[in-house]
Amino acid sequence: ACLGFFGFNITSVAALVGAAGLTVGLALQGSLSNLAAGIMLLILRPYRVGDLVEVGDRTGIVQKLDLFTTRIIDANNRRITVPNSQVLGDAIVNISGQKTRRIELPVGVDYDSDLHEVMAVMKRVGDEQPAGLDKAETRVGGLHLLDSSHGVVLHAWVKSADYWQTRADLNLAIKAAFDAAGIVIPYPHQVDLH
């Protein structure tokens, strides 16, 4: 406006400034979307530093959250930096956001097995786990007819921090209890016809 007041033709200057602004805006488009997503993440707080999260196909512990990126450390101690626009645009699963988790442990047993006995053995093993929270909530069910076996599922509630160790302990305990009771976990069967 001042240049126009002194008689300069500002049409070309305005076009040049507009083109430069458009170029800068397009160049910063990714950064601006990451900034906006970072602000939304800081306001909404779907996770905090130290939470175990699953973002897209990445799982790890949140190490740092800033305005542009989220940094997580995976189980192999690799540092993964994810742009905040990608985090906000994908499903966020906060695995450690709750104090308890339910273990779903499927086991296949032979078709000749007594399913009531199988379920009783699995329930007893689930109830005997020290990390289990509520014995009444330990359930066995979910019978599935599979190719080579009956599928039976143990459901047990544990503290989130104890999830992986309890799951491993349950696998070992169920295998030992099945061996003691003579319950067979079958190999897959295939029939080859020529």
Q: What's the pTM value of the predicted model, to 2 decimals?
A: 0.67
The pLDDT value recorded for residue 4 is: 67
The token duo for 7 is 């008689």
| pLDDT at 28 exceeding the cut of 60 | no
Mean confidence (pLDDT) of the chain: 85
The pLDDT value recorded for residue 1 is: 64
Element (H, E) at 121: helix 115-128
Rank 40-44, 52-56, 117-121 by mean pLDDT and report only the highest: 117-121
Given CA atoms 171, 148, 153, 161 in this order, what sign does their dihedral have? positive
Determine contact, residues 51/67, Cβ cutoff 8 Å: no
Q: In angstroms, rounded to a whole number, what is the distance separating the alpha carbons of residues 7 and 3?
A: 7
| pLDDT at 9 exceeding the cut of 90 | no
Choose among 185, 94, 108: nearest CA to 153.
Answer: 108
pLDDT digits (tens, 9 = 90+) for 134-170: 776 888 987 888 888 889 999 999 888 888 899 999 9
Question: Which of 25-29, 116-120, 168-172 has the weakest average pLDDT?
Answer: 25-29
The pLDDT value recorded for residue 131 is: 77
